[in-house]
């Protein structure tokens, strides 16, 4: 069985190797699937992630969600404690690179965890049971553990990021469902 580290390095290589055109096409299909989900349509406050190079692109999803009147927030990170907080992302917000190279709003408008109606989660790999493998810092696991239990969580992934099984520890937090293409 592959270790988390081996899985992580193999999938990160695949993400880097994927052609940009393929990434855009699959991201578009994933966006269509996401926007068709009742849980997404009902949610007024949605937390997205701002994609790193190679990940499922969320830029168009964010723009379209904002246009449709949803309040969109993204994680901001406190490097000292590997903690993330949801912050509102206004339509014309200025972004800066956060502690781990992920873009986040310059002006932080924090939101309470209980106000989130849907959380969209990135991952290096997932399995069909929703177990996820992140980048190894534990930021999302800690964040997801602090959400109210009834807050729906959806992972976004490309088909090659879906594995038969993801090894987990007690600290790992699964998502409710994974959307992939």
- The whole-number pLDDT of residue 19 equals 97
Range of the domain at 167: 4-11+39-71+115-180
Distance (Å, rounded) from C-alpha 73 to C-alpha 111? 8
Q: Does residue 43 form part of some domain?
A: yes
| CA dist list (Å): 12 to 4, 56, 81, 122 | 12, 12, 25, 13
pTM over 0.85: yes
How high is the mean pLDDT in each 10-residue block of the chain (181 residues)? 91 97 98 98 98 95 98 89 89 90 92 97 97 93 95 98 95 96 97
* Dist CA 57 CA 83 (whole Å): 23
Phi and psi of 168, rounded to 5°? -130, 160
Q: How many C-beta atoms lie closer than 10 Å to residue 164's C-beta? A: 7
Let me know if residue 131 belongs to a domain: yes
Is residue 142 assigned to a domain? Answer: yes
- For residue 55, tell me if it sits in a domain: yes
Neighbouring residues of 122: CB distance < 8 A, sequence distance ≥ 6: 49, 51, 52, 55, 56, 134, 140, 155, 156
Q: Is 3 exposed, middle or buried (0-12, 13-18, 19+ CB in 10 A)?
A: exposed
Distance of CA 6 to the CA centre of its chain: 21
Q: Give the span between the Cα atoms of 7 and 15, in whole angstroms.
A: 12
Say how many domains are in the chain. 1
| Tokens linked to 145 | 């553990």
- For residues 103 and 7, give the distance between their C-alpha atoms in angstroms, rounded to a whole number: 25
Distance CA 47, CA 117 (A): 8
Distance, CA of 50 to CA of 43 (rounded, Å): 19
pLDDT at 100: 82
Give the pLDDT score at 81.
67
Instruction: List the CATH number of the domain containing 148.
Output: 3.40.50.10420
Residue 95 placed within a domain: no
Residue 155: its pLDDT value, please? Answer: 98
Say if 135 falls within a structural domain: yes
Residue 121 in any domain: the answer is yes
Of the candidates 127, 109, 118, the residue with the CA atom closest to the CA atom of residue 49: 118
In a domain, 100, yes or no: no
- pLDDT score of 2: 82
């Amino acid at each position: 069985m592959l270790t988390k580290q081996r899985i992580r390095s193999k999938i990160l290589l695949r993400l880097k190797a994927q052609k940009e055109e393929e990434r855009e096409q699959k991201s578009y299909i994933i966006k269509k699937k996401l926007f068709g989900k009742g849980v997404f349509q009902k949610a007024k406050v949605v937390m997205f992630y701002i994609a790193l190079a190679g990940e499922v692109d969320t830029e168009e999803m964010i723009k379209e969600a904002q246009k449709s009147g949803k309040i969109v927030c993204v994680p901001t990170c406190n490097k000292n404690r590997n903690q993330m907080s949801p912050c509102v992302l206004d339509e014309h917000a200025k972004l800066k690179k956060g502690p781990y190279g992920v873009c986040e709003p310059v002006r932080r408008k924090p939101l309470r965890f209980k106000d989130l109606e849907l959380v969209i989660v990135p991952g290096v790999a997932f399995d069909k049971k929703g177990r996820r493998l992140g980048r190894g810092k534990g930021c999302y696991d800690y964040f997801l553990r602090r959400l109210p239990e009834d807050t729906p969580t959806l992972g976004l992934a490309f088909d090659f990021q879906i594995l038969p099984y993801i090894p987990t520890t007690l600290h790992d937090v699964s998502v409710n469902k994974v959307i992939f293409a």
